[in-house]
Structure 1
């Protein structure tokens, strides 16, 4: 997940020696850098999968040279294949979709610095920015990636659930209703799969920290492709809508506010901008159909990030209350399911408060 600058002590010893050597080597090739060894290291706040740093060098120009260093989080390979993610990153940069890859080291990489600002939580509520995101997301979905064009969502959910169950003690597994969730995944797959489903290359983590805005050109760049894969496009839009409930830069970054979930008009405007970006005017029925599909796909999205939260609580050392976050996603799943699917089934009113081991 994305990050923003948080100035602290600027020390190179935050970085692995291999990364520092690559950085100095890169800087020594830039004629405007005054001293390749005089690198400043600034940790960026808000990332929840990796550690992210901005690196600066003083130059002969008015502006400094900058790059981004990403150190992969420990244990997060359970969520995605790192080699797939690197291939995606390289494909995206070759096709002008994201930052260039400048170097790789054992547990991370060095990326081009994008001269744009990371969006904030409030930006997602801005109708002009929201329309830009819709258009950019359609462009992303239409990428022809060199990999099988099949839905990954359901297998990934089952694999993650299996991992979560292996990590949890019986009490915690019961508190999170993990046995029930297996049945829910099968029910959702049956309910939400069909021949008319539109499949595209999905980002799967389109929160505000993964979107950069160049305010001079009014253009967006989508970054961080760890979770990217082919999936139903309605799922990716649903994920983006659910992220409007989050603000990862507060004192309680794990707390979600679902009153910020976009209302019907906001959702219709987003879907209209998405569908019309290809140059053809969508019909009202096309817009309504996709809006309805997106609502249904909020349900597997809550399960996806709920299970992610459980696993992350065990494998990730970043300061974030992953299990409380998971609890909120599961609560939202159970409360929304009857309204979205019109069927109740086994629905715990809320997860048990005591989910500690």
Structure 2
């Protein structure tokens, strides 16, 4: 726990002047703080793109404090997203009662309402009750009617990230990850996965446990952080969530994925049954199994997305995370599962 009075505090020095001014203004408006300048700054672990801090002030009420969240954007990650689009999405979702309120913006980050709920841990995703709550919330999220074009972003995102990865990767690295042939893989995968029956919805595209909060009293779920949110096949968003069950970003080796933790068929069917019935209509067996199959195929797209993300992040982000080893695991999983899921001949490794 760190206080502002310590002038040598390196964490507090990470806050730009404009962020400090916003925090000071917020504390003054609330009027119940003991000292508007006596804030405490607590780093939150697990973020792999931004630095995130909980900021709190002691108030005149015993054992009560005011809290906000400060998010400092990672340097060089604009290749992944458009911050203005993200903020518009953030504000819209907030107005729908789906997430925290935006309290202030500064040039390198923003200040958000602190949700009085706990962030999930990796083990929570394996809890059947919590998993059911997530399924219902994802259905609700996918039904959001976000203003603007409703075009699928997945394939353009993959191609844009591939272009960025090629530009930034040393020749040996590009060869090791077979980036020169990746355009063909993306095009073939797009063709294989395209189907008129698929549902397109507003997808979060990064429903990992660190982006899910649970209010223990009301048992309500909130999905946060909309950096990658956009319209996509809902099967992709669910597939990505299943893949995230293999990760634990709070270990000594946060980049290591444990594929044996990927949910089995019965677990996936239970999740998708909850998802499809969240609107009050019971799905047919055929509808359920079709979504099961679609989701499994879209895990391949998830592996490519986060594999490319890992390559780029290695060169633009200074957060302590082994992005290259993470990327290698995602690509290896792609090549391993491609034949089983699509019935294609696996490409021979270089």
Please indicate, yes or no, whether the TM-score normalized by the shorter chain is above 0.5.
yes
User: What is the deviation of 1:172?
Assistant: 0.9
- Partner residue of 2:54? 54
* Corresponding position: 1:181 with 2:182: yes
Note if 1:25 corresponds to 2:47: no
SS at match of 1:29: helix
Question: Who is 1:3 aligned against?
Answer: none
SS in 2 for 1:231: strand
1:148-227 paired onto structure 2 within 5 Å: 148-227=149-228
2:246–2:260: 8 Å Cα contact kept in structure 1? yes
2:302 paired residue number: 301
Aligned twin of 2:316: 315
Distance 1:341 1:88 in 2: 34
**Is residue 2:81 matched to residue 1:75?**
no
Shift in Å at residue 31 of structure 1?
Answer: 2.0
How far 1:305 moved relative to its partner? 0.1
Measured after TM superposition, the shift of residue 14 of structure 1 is 2.9
RMSD: 1.1
The answer to whether the Cα contact below 8 Å between 1:154 and 1:189 also exists between their aligned partners in 2 is yes
SS of the counterpart of 1:32?
A: coil
Distance change >3 Å, CA 305–CA 8, structure 1 → 2? farther
The CA distance in 1 between the partners of 2:241 and 2:54, in whole Å, is 26
SS in 2 for 1:338: helix
Kept in 2: contact 1:310–1:323 (CA 8 A) = yes
Uncovered stretches (5+) of structure 1, i.e. residues with no partner = 1-6, 353-357
3-state secondary structure, aligned to 1:110? strand
Q: Deviations over 1:144-179 (max 9, x none)?
A: 000211110001000000000001121111100111
Q: Distance in 2 between matches of 1:345 and 1:94?
A: 47
Q: Which residue is equivalent to 2:102?
A: 101
Q: Which runs of 5+ in 2 are unaligned?
A: none
1-structure distance, mates of 2:26, 2:161? 38
Greater alpha carbon shift after TM alignment, 23-32 vs 215-224: 23-32
After superposition, the C-alpha distances for 1:99-124 in whole angstroms (9 at most, x for unaligned) are 00000011100000000000000000
Question: What is the alpha-carbon distance in structure 1 between the residues aligned to residue 100 and residue 67 of structure 2?
Answer: 12
1:170-205, Cα deviation, whole Å (9 max, x unpaired): 111110011122111000000101211110000000
Deviation (angstroms), 1:9 = 7.6
Corresponding residue for 1:333? 334
Residue number in structure 1 paired with 2:39: 39
Q: Is the 8 A contact 1:334 1:347 kept in 2?
A: no
Superposition map of 1:251-262 within 5 A = 251-262=252-263
Instruction: Determine the C-alpha separation between the residues in 2 that align with 1:236 and 1:152.
Output: 12
1:13 deviates by 2.2
Rounded to whole Å, the distance in 2 between the matches of 1:65 and 1:238 is: 37
So what's the TM-score if we normalise by structure 1? 0.94
- Give yes or no for contact 1:8–1:43 (8 Å, CA) kept in 2: no
The Cα offsets for residues 202-241 of structure 1, whole Å up to 9 and x where unpaired, read as 0000000000000000000000000000000000000000
CA distance in 2: counterparts of 1:123 and 1:9, whole angstroms: 32
Is the CA contact (8 Å cut-off) linking 1:9 and 1:42 kept in structure 2?
A: no
The equivalent residue for 1:289 is: 290
